[in-house]
Amino acid sequence: MKVFRSLSDIDIPFKYPCVTIGNFDGVHIGHQALFKKAVELAGKHGGHAIAVTFEPHPIKILRPNIGLKLISTFDHKLELIKRSGVNFLICLEFNMELASTSAKEFLEMVFVKAIGVKELIIGYDYAFGRGREGDRKFLRDMGEIYGYNCHVLGPIKAEGEIVSSTKIRELVSDGNMKKVRRFLGRYYQIRGIVRVGNRRGGPVVGFPTANILIEKEDLCPKVGVYCVQVIIDDECFGGVMNIGYNPTFGDTGLSAEVHIFNFQRNIYGKHIKVNLIERIREERKFSGPKELQKQIKKDIDKAILILAQEKGLKKACKEEFKINPF
């Protein structure tokens, strides 16, 4: 997949462009349906599947005070879109100038002149342009003028609920990782560089941990202990992660510490990925290291059972690297 960071970067003519557009935060199963349709139409007509997105997320510009927490980083979003089979991604810088552009101006500038759209695929509730005037009726009407077909996909549901990025954020904040997985089509993932922590995990508690910094702008799961998979380079390991404030030791800052099963390497400074599979329990204060150690052993036993139910650790880990088919 080739990425264009502006319209002026486009240096090739597209073949029968089949285009979808959206913010695509999380690249959930609803977004995947849009990509799949674009890829199918492109294959049918010998054309190119193209996705158009924005950076930063429009809400961060239009409503900065709400502190929007994103499901995926921009780099992770690019990886997931690439796996969908899309040929090209056009990423437009979202700013107040673009926000003030009318739907007609945007359509002509992006879809007609820059891309030459032949097939346009949108979600049932998508709209763009000043005042969100570029809705499905507008796009269908403009299709008759500019000679493209407009396909509107209905809502994608999971467990009887409409899948949306907003709903997924709520589920992550509530720690409902099983449901999050069904909405995303994969595990929710935290990424970060392993940093030096308080060095209590191994010497004091008996379970060494890798510590990842959770930034204020990150979408943080509900405080508690989770069964996880840890991906380091191309290897995948089981583990348990505590997200919280370590009340047993009187800490005050939020931390994410993962104990990796059967792992002895030094990974300080290493970039790792952590798939959150299931929330095991609440974080709570213990009388001291010995009582905490007993509970961690129970957490590990439970996590091992959960991983076994996930069709085996190695096989389940592969799900992080694929897009669910429809």
Contact criterion met (CB below 8 Å) for 227 and 302: yes
Give pLDDT, residue 76.
Answer: 94
Q: What residues contact residue 239 under an 8 Å CB cut-off, 6+ apart?
A: 227, 228, 229, 230, 258, 259, 260, 261, 263, 274, 303
Segment 193-230, tens digit of pLDDT: 998 865 555 445 678 889 998 877 789 999 999 999 99
Which DSSP helix (H) or strand (E) runs through 158?
strand 157-158
pLDDT of 316 above 50:
no
DSSP 56: S
Cβ-in-10-Å burial (0-12, 13-18, 19+) of 112 comes to: middle
Phi, psi of 200 (to 5 degrees): -100, -25
Q: From 3.40.50.620, 3.10.129.10, 3.20.20.150, 3.90.1150.10, which CATH number describes the 2-155 domain?
A: 3.40.50.620
pLDDT of 319 above 90:
no
Of the candidates 305, 276, 309, the residue with the CA atom closest to the CA atom of residue 176: 276
Q: From 3.10.20.30, 3.40.630.10, 2.60.130.10, 2.40.30.30, which CATH number describes the 161-321 domain?
A: 2.40.30.30
Confidence of residue 326 (pLDDT cuts 50, 70, 90): very low
Can you tell me which residue has the tokens 């104990």? 259
Give pLDDT, residue 251.
Answer: 65
Query: Strand 188-195 relative to strand 149-153: parallel, antiparallel, unpaired?
Result: unpaired
How far, in Å, CA of 324 to CA of 201, rounded? 37
What are the contacts of 253-256 at 24+ separation with CB within 8 A? 254/214, 254/220, 255/197, 255/211, 255/214, 256/190, 256/192, 256/211, 256/212, 256/213, 256/214
Give pLDDT, residue 321.
Answer: 39
Segment 42-52, tens digit of pLDDT: 999 999 999 99
Percent of the chain clearing pLDDT 70 (strictly above): 91
Is the pLDDT higher at 11 or at 199? 11
Domains 2-155 and 161-321 share a fold: no
Rg (CA), the chain: 22
CA distances (Å), origin 278, targets 74, 185, 303: 25, 15, 8
Contact criterion met (CB below 8 Å) for 278 and 226: yes
| Vertex 58 angle, CA 162 and 142, to 5° | 75
Segment 121-138, tens digit of pLDDT: 999 999 999 989 999 999
Segment 252-302, tens digit of pLDDT: 678 899 999 989 899 999 999 999 999 999 988 887 888 888 999 999 999
Q: Is 153 helix (H, G, I), strand (E, B) or coil?
A: strand
Give pLDDT, residue 216.
Answer: 77
pLDDT of 314 above 80:
no
Q: Read off the pTM.
A: 0.90
Quote the longest CA-to-CA distance of the chain. 73
Mean of all residue pLDDT scores within the chain: 90
Q: Which amino acid is at 309?
A: Q
pLDDT of 325 above 50:
no
| Vertex 195 angle, CA 190 and 196, to 5° | 140
DSSP string, 280-291: EE-----SSHHH
How far, in Å, CA of 12 to CA of 9, rounded? 9
Domain boundaries, given as residue ranges, for the chain: 2-155, 161-321
Can you tell me the mean pLDDT for 2-16?
96
Segment 55-72, tens digit of pLDDT: 999 999 999 999 999 999
